[in-house]
């Protein structure tokens, strides 16, 4: 049996690759741009070529490769077929079967957010029951139970961004409903919240008179700007409440927060935990909280872990 694995994370801008040994050590990582023209039909040949080149560079043949794990931004079924990945221009693409055929190496495919959660559980937090929530442009989430991804009946498990948290918001979310967590606690949601708070108050704030951004909000809050702090409290209340609901259902070992917004650092944990504890079922009040550790590498780690975990 082969000794090496490729882990791949296909994103809308870059395709990230990792070469791993059989103990799960990342030997080398690199990336190539994602070519989105022609409905993303170059992606599969670009993937194969990149892996082929790496194998030649390292003098590896197919028999030394144990497998390929790959993540894509969309719904992926149990056969490794992508059912839809709008960001890549893909409708249905038989991702795993086609790659397996071209490379002559076993391939398993999964959803990228789920694989990021699995990667963080494996090499970031080192635990087997974990929820990863990524707060960026949107709010994504992956659920890992007993060391495996929990996908749910329709691949919709961990759609934490679409938990209903705000009755007063009538504007529609991208999902078609309204009052979703993603509308109020994503990067856009935080900016919107800051805008309202600034408009409603006469207080001075270092956020006034400039373009708002999440970074500016958190930086101002760290400098004790009162309206910025009020915005962060609001974010903490929404996300903390949603995570408390989530632990009432799952009771995980650990909650990890990642995504662009988590770059603000410990202030995120401070405010989310404050409100989490307010709403949480007492037995789950002291669940471990942490920030994601693997950054952009989480997906390639998770892809390899999925391959190892699902191979008998």
Answer for which of 16, 108, 123, 241 binds a copy of itself (CB under 8 A) is: 241
Q: Interface with a copy of itself includes 99 (CB under 8 A)?
A: no
Q: Interface with a copy of itself includes 155 (CB under 8 A)?
A: yes
Longest C-alpha distance within the chain, in Å? 69
Q: Interface with a copy of itself includes 139 (CB under 8 A)?
A: no
Q: Interface with a copy of itself includes 163 (CB under 8 A)?
A: yes
Place of tokens 């008998």: 312
* Residue 178 tokens, joined: 């309204």
Q: Interface with a copy of itself includes 287 (CB under 8 A)?
A: yes
Residues 6+ apart with CB under 8 A from 300: 7, 8, 9, 16, 17, 18, 26, 29, 119
CB atoms within 10 A of CB 281: 11
Q: Which is nearer to a copy of itself, 239 or 300 (CB)?
A: 239
Q: Which is nearer to a copy of itself, 282 or 312 (CB)?
A: 282
Q: Interface with a copy of itself includes 248 (CB under 8 A)?
A: yes
Q: Which stretch binds a copy of itself (CB under 8 A): 89-97, 160-168, 211-219, 226-234?
A: 160-168
Strands 288-291 and 148-149: unpaired
Per DSSP, 12 falls in state S
Q: Which is nearer to a copy of itself, 27 or 248 (CB)?
A: 248
Please say whether the beta carbons of 161 and 178 come within 8 A.
no
Please say whether the beta carbons of 105 and 68 come within 8 A.
yes
Q: Which is nearer to a copy of itself, 230 or 241 (CB)?
A: 241
The distance from CA 73 to its chain's CA centroid, rounded to whole angstroms, is 10
Please say whether the beta carbons of 73 and 66 come within 8 A.
no
Q: Interface with a copy of itself includes 86 (CB under 8 A)?
A: no
For the CB of residue 171, give the shortest distance to a copy of itself in the complex, in Å. 15
CA neighbor of 303 nearest in space, from 105, 16, 1: 16
Q: Which stretch binds a copy of itself (CB under 8 A): 46-54, 114-122, 247-255, 289-297?
A: 247-255
Q: Interface with a copy of itself includes 156 (CB under 8 A)?
A: yes
Strands 130-135 and 254-258: parallel
Question: In a 3-state reduction of DSSP, which class is residue 312?
Answer: coil
Q: Interface with a copy of itself includes 129 (CB under 8 A)?
A: yes
For the CB of residue 154, give the shortest distance to a copy of itself in the complex, in Å. 4
DSSP 232-267: HHHHHHHHHHHHHHHHHHH--SEEEEESGGGGGTHH
Answer for which of 33, 59, 176, 209 binds a copy of itself (CB under 8 A) is: 176
Q: Interface with a copy of itself includes 55 (CB under 8 A)?
A: no
Answer for which of 210, 249, 266, 312 binds a copy of itself (CB under 8 A) is: 249
Answer for which of 111, 114, 134, 151 binds a copy of itself (CB under 8 A) is: 151
Q: What residues make contact with a copy of itself under the rule CB under 8 A?
A: 129, 143, 145, 150-160, 162-164, 175-177, 241, 244-253, 278-284, 287
């Amino acid at each position: 049996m082969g000794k090496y694995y490729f882990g791949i994370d296909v994103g809308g801008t870059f395709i990230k690759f990792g070469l791993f040994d059989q103990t799960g050590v990342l030997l080398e990582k690199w990336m190539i741009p994602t070519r989105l023209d022609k409905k993303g039909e170059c992606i599969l040949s670009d993937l194969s070529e990149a892996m082929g080149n790496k194998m030649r560079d390292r003098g590896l043949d197919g028999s030394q490769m144990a497998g390929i794990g790959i993540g894509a931004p969309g719904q992926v079924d149990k056969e490794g077929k992508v059912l839809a990945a709008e960001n890549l221009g893909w409708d249905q693409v038989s991702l795993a079967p086609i790659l397996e055929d071209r490379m002559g190496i076993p391939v398993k495919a999964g959803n990228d957010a789920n694989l990021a959660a699995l990667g963080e559980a494996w090499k970031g937090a080192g635990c087997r029951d974990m929820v990863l929530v990524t707060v960026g442009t949107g709010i994504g989430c992956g659920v890992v139970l007993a060391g495996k991804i929990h996908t749910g009946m329709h691949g919709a498990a961990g759609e934490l961004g679409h938990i209903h948290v705000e009755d007063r918001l009538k504007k529609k979310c991208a999902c078609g409903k309204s009052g979703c967590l993603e509308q109020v606690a994503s990067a856009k949601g935080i900016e919107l919240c800051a805008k309202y708070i600034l408009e409603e108050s006469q207080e001075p704030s270092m956020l006034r008179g400039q373009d708002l951004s999440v970074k500016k909000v958190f930086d101002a809050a760290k400098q004790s700007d009162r309206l910025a702090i009020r915005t962060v409290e609001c974010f903490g209340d929404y996300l903390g409440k949603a995570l408390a609901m989530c632990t009432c259902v799952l009771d995980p070992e650990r909650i990890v927060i990642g995504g662009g917004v988590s770059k603000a650092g410990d202030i995120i944990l401070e405010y989310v935990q404050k409100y989490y504890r307010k709403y949480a079922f007492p037995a789950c009040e002291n669940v471990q909280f942490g920030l994601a550790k693997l950054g952009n590498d989480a997906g390639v780690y998770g892809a390899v872990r999925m391959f190892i975990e699902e191979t008998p």
